[in-house]
Chains A and B, each alone.
Chain A
Amino acid sequence: MMCPEMEVRLNEYVDGTLAARDRASVEEHLASCAGCRGAVAELRSLVAEAHGLPRSIEPKRDLWGDIARRLGKRETGDGKRWWRGALAAAAVLVIALGLYRLVPPFTAHYRPAGGGVGWAAVQADFDRASGELGRALALERHRLRPETVALLERNLEIIDAAIAESRAALARDPANAELRGLFAAAYRHKVELLRWAAHAATS
């Protein structure tokens, strides 16, 4: 049915990961190939079904008893390893928070749905993530060269100033979607900076 040499590109097409000119050439092919069109429809349907599978399945038996038994025997790890874990965990946290998805690149067409509660949560999450990373960095600083520390501090000052200004403007005009986008962008830069620092400190 599907042309075998098209398999990779058709999958990428369905996933939306093709560069524009490849997309155009795939669409050109699809216009005249029923087999591939059918395959694309099947792929889309399969992916949609996969997304729609039940999120949750209860285990047949209660596993808590075994877990509780194991919890009793655990001890915390040594300090230094914990901080490295904290750095990594905090960085992962930022990704896991889906912040980038929650505040997508601003365009004139983006209208946040009911910004209120969701937005406060985003801000709080940002604060936590950067607080976490900042604290962990403070502990790991001795591992960095002095010039790198100076560079980081200088840029942290810059970004903190930008965030403060953005935040003040947003406080005066909280429903402003553009301001929110800019504020979120400033915060993204800060988290990015801290991740750089974590990367430099732990590599």
Chain B
Amino acid sequence: MTNGAGCLALVLLWVARAATAQARIDERWPLDAAGSVRIVHPAGRVRVVGWDVDSLAVVGTLAPGAGRFYSAGDGHVRKLGVDIPADERIAGRGDLVVRVPRRTNVWVKSATADIEVEGVDGTLDLTSVRGAIHVVGTPQDVTAETMDGAVEIAGGTGRARVKTVSGAILLRGASADIGASTLSGAIVVRAAGWQRGGTGVQRGKFESVTGDVRFDGELGRGGVVEFETQSGNIAVRVPGRTVADFDALTIGGTITNTLGAAQPTPRANGAGQELRFSTGAGGAQVTVRSFKGGILLEPK
């Protein structure tokens, strides 16, 4: 029967296409204005975007072999993600866009997938092994950790904690309380503090082993900021009228100061240079330490 053969051919064609076709995801559930979302997405990209609707919507595509999409939860807490079989070391790519109410608390974990979050004001907890992490907006609290990916946080947060091994860290915008730690990545902090009511950075700790650290921003009165590297160079650029106590020390490097007249002196006991000076009372406290790196203090 030609009809039957034709149908069979069509069915076979359809089956063949389905086997290599991408899986499409398009789901939506109600979610409270300040609920929580937990996303596990191994490979590809996941974007989380805040919106003004009390529901969670996810759209995306999964390449063949990328695994199975799953979701569970209720109006307060929802978890979703892509499950790869335990013995699959390499997952196919998946691309997800998840829209959530703005005040949602978002937790994302990925292996190589890049994580992007935009316009979410809740608490963010983002972890990856090799993926990049990119946050834009004003989340209240951000924790971002990745081994090899770059991390960029742009906007303003109440508190930010970023950790990488070799990924570069870029913090743009304003946060009152920042911690950034890397082994061999570089840390760049720009224009910190001025957007959020102009309080300046209140608490900052920036540490690396070999990565350079560059701070270019404002310090809040009473702020406590610490820089520490093993061999990375440290550059601190603050407005010339900043009121602060500066305490810098390097054991193998040199200190250059153009923030004022004070000049570094050789250390009392041993090699290296130190520099302690104050530009006024009741200001910020800036401590800079390096084992081998150079230290530069300069005005904006």
Contact = CB atoms under 8 A, between A and B. Distances in A.
B183 A147 contact: no
A12 interface: no
Range, interface on chain A: 35 or more
Interface string A141-159: 0000101100110110011
A176 B267 CA distance: 11
Interface string A20-61: 110000000000000000000000000000000000000000
Interface string B229-272: 01100000000000000010101000000000000000001100
Q: Is the interface of A mostly helix, strand, loop or mixed?
A: helix
Contacts of A148: 129-130, 147-148
Contact of A196 (B90, B147, B223, B269): B147
Interface stretch (B93-101, B113-121, B201-209): B201-209
A106 B228 contact: yes
B89 interface: yes
Contacts of B220: 20
Interface residues of B, number: 45
B199 A21 contact: yes
A181 B207 CA distance: 12
Contacts of A178: 249, 251, 289
12 contacts: A20-B203, A105-B226, A107-B285, A147-B130, A151-B166, A159-B183, A162-B291, A172-B270, A179-B251, A185-B207, A196-B165, A203-B109
Interface of A: 19-21, 105-108, 145, 147-148, 151-152, 154-155, 158-159, 162, 165-166, 169, 172-173, 176, 178-179, 181-182, 185-186, 189, 192-193, 196, 200, 203
Given A20-B176, A147-B130, 20 more contacts: A19-B177, A21-B197, A105-B205, A105-B226, A107-B285, A148-B130, A148-B147, A151-B130, A151-B148, A151-B166, A162-B231, A165-B292, A166-B230, A166-B291, A182-B251, A186-B291, A189-B209, A189-B230, A192-B163, A203-B109
